[in-house]
Structure 1
Amino acid sequence: MRQIEQQHYDVIVIGGGQAGLAISYLLKQDNINHVVLERNQIANSWVNQRWDSFKLNTPNWMNLLPGMTLSENDDKEAFKTNAQYIDTLVRYVHENDLPVVEHCEVTAVHHHNDLFDLTVIYQGTFKKLSANQVVVASGKMSDFENPLFANPLASNIKQINVGEYKNPSQVSGNVLIVGSGQSGVQIAEELAQSMYPNKDKIYLATSEVARSPRRYRGKDMMEWLTIIGAMDQRTDELEDINMSLQTQPQVSGVGQYGHTVSLQSLHELGVIHVGKLLTTRKDSFEFNDKLKQYIVYADKSSEKLKALVDGYLTKTGELSLYPNVDIDKADHNDPSFICASDLTTLDFDQVDTVIWAIGYKAKFNYLHIPGVLNEKGQPIQTNGISVQKGLYYLGFPWMIKRKSGIIFGVAEDAQTIKDEMRVK
């Protein structure tokens, strides 16, 4: 394990996930004196915030960090398991001798006299470090807080946040999953296909989340979006900035080449859909009545993606070269709302386990630098560059482009940030 070897560095990187490792590789290539500080362990979010059966949601060719290449034995269309990707990141650190210090938590960052002063907890004690420049690469989903509602849940209801969920053996009886993003729908699918203790009803509290077909016209949808240039759409060119706030679409990497997950496919497995969880009452959960709107939104989002591909192929004259031969039952629309229930309340005694697939965000309260955070405590930045000279961000959704928030965009963004640096 690496140790802190000095008090001052040209660059200090906060976070030892894929973003922090990518910028570290590039800094090392330029012989820039730096260190990566990770509060837990290398690839911590992959180790501690993923379940046992999780697979990456992007195919192998999209998951390369700087200096990485696919080997002859790698199927570029396949999806790594979580364990495989953790091993990939750990080997990346060791093979490139990256200066990652684990179990070193940054508790405060100040700036004065053109230097950043950092306070860290390392080996059980507080330690002071300084740097000319700092890169925050700790991610936007690094911390979890259980949502607070009007009334506490009944004490007999087991609560699990999605980062603590590992496998179906943790749940029992009637299960309510709150959140229909990628994690929520994938866990709902796993529970529906398993036999967990006292298995009964599975409820999914939904919201406005897009879905994507996994494959279309012979290619993974992510490959099409890359080919047509959608993944390179720049944040500063968005006509509607709210687009950058959208949840990642429902889809799964489980299976050799992944598969489509939809509210329809989950309904076929027996999952009962309800609207968005609004609050809790003395003895019940209360949901809104917008479930049908959410179904329409998901269906239309899938159709828009396919129309985008069709429009591109029509323009290039290649439509006939890519026939739509994939039969994807999970991608069928639901104009009759067969998968919509009319439930707007569930009594506490109808639920044995709640899985919170919402509530993840990042805390940046360790940045004690005036003006760098907005009123919500989130970084003020443009293309990863802070309003504070010498402070940078990396690995955040839509930081520079659409692809910035996934592994696919990390290498390019890391190069952009490294090029912006003025190492003293």
Structure 2
Amino acid sequence: MKGTDILVVGGGNSGAQIAVELAKDNNVTIAVGHKFKFLPLKFLGRSIFSWLEIFGLLYAGTDTLKGKWFRKQNDPIFGKELKSLIRNKKVDVKPKVTHVVNTEVHFIDKSWNKYTSIIWATGFVPYYDWINIKGVISNDGKPIHNRGITNINGLYFIGIPWQYQRGSGLICGVSLDSKYLVSTIISNVSKNK
């Protein structure tokens, strides 16, 4: 792929990291549907995640004031590499993609361009319709649970964004939910013996 015209579709952290890596040897464009918000990886010599923890945001509960505020915020891009590449015209930014015909990509601003490669880094949307158990999935398609515990004996969820706190869907925070679930599961197994 070296020296090619590459489009990265998606402006989250994965898309940003992919664009940064590819920009070393390629002409890279990133298409996003929102404005970028960048946070440094370090601030005053400490990890930004350390600051989020200090201010009670990294593990803010879903029902707390901090958690409710934080849920309304767009996820930032961590690190400033992409911002620097954009400023130095090493990565071009285009608006949202509307459609693609072969290698021709059309954008919401009515512009279009051809690319050698297109990488879709558009994130994911959880899909639970395959769970066909009454009372487990709500009408809006989300698991019905309290901290990952369902009303069905032996059925639990883990790793859901905002399952109980901001870090629930992150590697750094899923362990807190896991510890809670494991103790609940062990307690339930002991009761049923």
Please say whether Structure 1 and Structure 2 have the same fold, judged by a TM-score greater than 0.5: yes
Conserved? CA contact 2:10–2:122, under 8 Å: yes
Name the CA distance, whole Å, in 1 between partners of 2:107 and 2:101.
11
Conserved? CA contact 2:31–2:93, under 8 Å: yes
Name the CA distance, whole Å, in 2 between partners of 1:385 and 1:236.
17
Q: Shift in Å at residue 226 of structure 1?
A: 1.1
Name the CA distance, whole Å, in 1 between partners of 2:171 and 2:62.
17
Further displaced range: 209-218 or 394-403: 209-218
Relative distance call for 1:351 and 1:282 in structure 2 (3 A) is closer
Indicate the SS of the match to 1:278.
strand
Indicate the SS of the match to 1:224.
helix
- Counterpart mapping for 1:18-417 below 5 A: 169=1, 173-194=4-25, 199=26, 201-208=27-34, 209-238=36-65, 243-244=70-71, 248-251=75-78, 259-268=79-88, 270-280=90-100, 284-289=104-109, 344-347=110-113, 350-375=114-139, 377-417=141-181
Deviations 1:303-344 (A, max 9, x none): xxxxxxxxxxxxxxxxxxxxxxxxxxxxxxxxxxxxxxxxx4
- Aligned partner of 1:120 in structure 2 is none
Q: Shift in Å at residue 214 of structure 1?
A: 0.9
> How does the TM-score come out when normalised to structure 1?
0.39
Q: Which amino acid aligns with 1:277?
A: V
Deviations 1:222-267 (A, max 9, x none): 111112221121112258869537664312xxxxxxx433434334
Conserved? CA contact 1:384–1:399, under 8 Å: yes
Name the CA distance, whole Å, in 1 between partners of 2:97 and 2:70.
22
Conserved? CA contact 1:403–1:409, under 8 Å: yes
Name the CA distance, whole Å, in 2 between partners of 1:243 and 1:370.
32
Conserved? CA contact 1:235–1:401, under 8 Å: yes
Name the CA distance, whole Å, in 1 between partners of 2:172 and 2:91.
32
Relative distance call for 1:380 and 1:245 in structure 2 (3 A) is farther
Indicate the SS of the match to 1:408.
coil
Deviations 1:2-39 (A, max 9, x none): xxxxxxxxxxxxxxxxxxxxxxxxxxxxxxxxxxxxxx
Greater radius of gyration (CA): 1
Name the CA distance, whole Å, in 2 between partners of 1:356 and 1:242.
29
Name the CA distance, whole Å, in 2 between partners of 1:410 and 1:372.
21
Name the CA distance, whole Å, in 1 between partners of 2:146 and 2:153.
12
Q: Shift in Å at residue 211 of structure 1?
A: 2.4
Conserved? CA contact 1:267–1:273, under 8 Å: no
Indicate the SS of the match to 2:81.
coil
Indicate the SS of the match to 1:392.
coil
CA RMSD, 1 decimal: 2.9
Q: Which amino acid aligns with 2:41?
A: R
Q: Shift in Å at residue 361 of structure 1?
A: 3.7
> How does the TM-score come out when normalised to structure 2?
0.80
Name the CA distance, whole Å, in 2 between partners of 1:241 and 1:269.
37
Name the CA distance, whole Å, in 2 between partners of 1:174 and 1:376.
40
Conserved? CA contact 2:62–2:162, under 8 Å: yes
**Long gaps (5+) in structure 2:** none
Indicate the SS of the match to 1:355.
strand
Indicate the SS of the match to 2:77.
coil
Deviations 1:257-282 (A, max 9, x none): xx433434334251110112233479
Relative distance call for 1:248 and 1:174 in structure 2 (3 A) is same
Name the CA distance, whole Å, in 2 between partners of 1:375 and 1:261.
41
